[in-house]
Amino acid sequence: MGNRRVINYDESEITKKERQMINKVLSKYNFNVIDFSKVRSMYKVQTTTGNKCLKRTRHGKYKIRNGFIFAEELKNVGFNNIASYYKTKDDRNYIKYKKWAFYATEWIDGDECDLNDIVEAENCAKTLAHFHKATQKIDINRLKVKSHLKKWPKRFNKRISDMDRFKNNIENKKIKNEFDIIYKEYIDSFYERAMVALSFLNKSDYYKLSKEAQANKTLCHHSFYYQNIIKKGREYYIIDLDNIIIDLQVNDLGKYIRRLMTKKSYQWDFEKTKRIIEAYNSENKLTKEDLEVMLSLVIFPHKFWKLGKKRYIKHKHWPETKYMKKLNKIIKYDDMQREFLENYIKYLEQYE
């Protein structure tokens, strides 16, 4: 497991002004603080009662409230593989400081998962399945959660329309650079895959499943990937519960698989996808209808579309070398994705 991401702390990143701000915020909690350091956009706070995590956000205070309630509800139904949330001295969920809202949770002392290891990826899928089962038992009425149900077809259509726009933009350019030429060379292939994904979605039981999910108010983590899965001993913990949405739960699993498949250690190997599906199934069995819907999400050329959007709509100021590196990484998997699709369909045909 040499590729495990050990979380490193760099205290030098904290400015004097920032340190003063954090000290003021921490004084509002019942913490006996020893020291703190910065990890990405969070703060690891050492206290006499263990490590805490201080987070900040500029918006979405209702998300913080959701996190508190959601964590409490999950623990009430026996799902304890999450971080506890801490209230302030005066029983508030967060501290308002200028443009920021700060809130505190337990710090899970562990490592980010090494998803290059298929066994670890399977274990994470099992943890996701446990999480999904637990969410089905909680009282969602206390939560204020947005629904993303029935939005997939609209989202797919919008992205397909964007790809038409990218193609027109390139064709109308008098001077085309290397990126334009290669992106245009592959756009028809990825456009076709996007249409196949939309076709699978339209032929699936997506709306029926969405209706059931709406009635049951099924929840998704909405950001299930290595940054938010911490391994502590033999246990896996899911963190960052603030972005939950109502949607089909295969949304979480499908995005997880799609992200893994673009990694060097997976390269759209369907056998590895099958192992992840079966790991999830061992804890929370998916129906054939679930897998048909998930197929559309996994094979939609999200990365190709996203790169085109950054280039031709957002006009992101990246060096050409960075654009080309990202494009080459995407197009090298073109044939592998075709084979992946064929193998997924064969798997569906015999799935019970």
pLDDT band at 250 (very low <50, low <70, confident <90, very high): very high
pTM equals 0.92
- Show me where the domains of the chain are located: 11-109, 118-349
What is the enclosing helix (H) or strand (E) of 100?
strand 100-106
C-alpha closest to that of 340 among 285, 276, 251, 258: 258
Instruction: Give the pLDDT confidence of 135-184 residue by residue, as tens digits.
Output: 999 999 999 999 999 999 999 999 999 999 999 999 999 999 999 999 99
What is the DSSP code (8-state) at residue 105? E
282: its two tokens: 């061992």
Q: How confident is the model at residue 2 (pLDDT cuts 50, 70, 90)?
A: very low
Q: Which amino acid is at 70?
A: F
Contact 46/35 with Cβ under 8 angstroms? yes
Which tens digit of pLDDT belongs to each residue from 70-128?
999 999 999 999 999 999 999 999 999 989 999 999 999 999 889 999 999 999 999 99
Q: Which of the residue ranges 146-150, 184-188, 239-243 would you say has the lowest mean pLDDT?
A: 239-243
* Helices 320-331 + 302-312 axis angle, to 10: 160
Q: Half-sphere exposure of residue 320, counting CA atoms within 13 Å on the CB side?
A: 8
> Domain 118-349 is classified in which CATH homologous superfamily?
Aminoglycoside phosphotransferase (APH), C-terminal lobe (3.90.1200.10)
Q: Is 85 left (phi over 0), alpha (psi -120 to 50) or beta?
A: beta
* Cβ-contact 302, 234 below 8 angstroms: no
Q: Which amino acid is at 61?
A: K
Fold of the CATH domain 11-109 = Phosphorylase Kinase; domain 1 (3.30.200)
Give the 3-state secondary structure of residue 188: helix
User: What is the C-alpha to C-alpha distance for residues 191 and 164, in angstroms, rounded to an integer?
Assistant: 8
Question: For 319-331, how does the pLDDT look when each residue is reduced to its tens digit (9 = 90+)?
Answer: 999 999 999 999 9
Q: How confident is the model at residue 40 (pLDDT cuts 50, 70, 90)?
A: confident
What letter would DSSP give residue 249? T
**Could you report the per-residue pLDDT of 280-313, keeping only the tens digit for each?**
999 999 999 999 999 999 999 999 999 999 999 9
Please state the φ and ψ torsions of residue 87, each to the nearest 5 degrees: -90, 165
Using DSSP's 3-state secondary structure scheme, residue 204 falls into: coil
CA distance 136 to 175: 55
The length of the chain, given as a count of residues: 352
Buried b (16+ CB within 10 A) or exposed e, 73-84: bbeeeebebbbe
Q: Identify the H or E element spanning 241.
A: none
CA 43 to chain centre: 21
Question: Could you tell me which residues come within 8 angstroms of residue 163 by beta carbon, excluding any fewer than 6 positions away?
Answer: 187, 190, 191, 194, 305, 308
Please determine, for residue 339, whether its predicted confidence score (pLDDT) is greater than 70.
Answer: yes
Residue 1: which pLDDT band, with cuts at 50, 70 and 90? Answer: very low
Report angle CA 174, 158, 321 to the nearest 5 degrees: 45
Q: What is the pLDDT of residue 9?
A: 45
Q: CB–CB of 301/193 below 8 Å?
A: yes
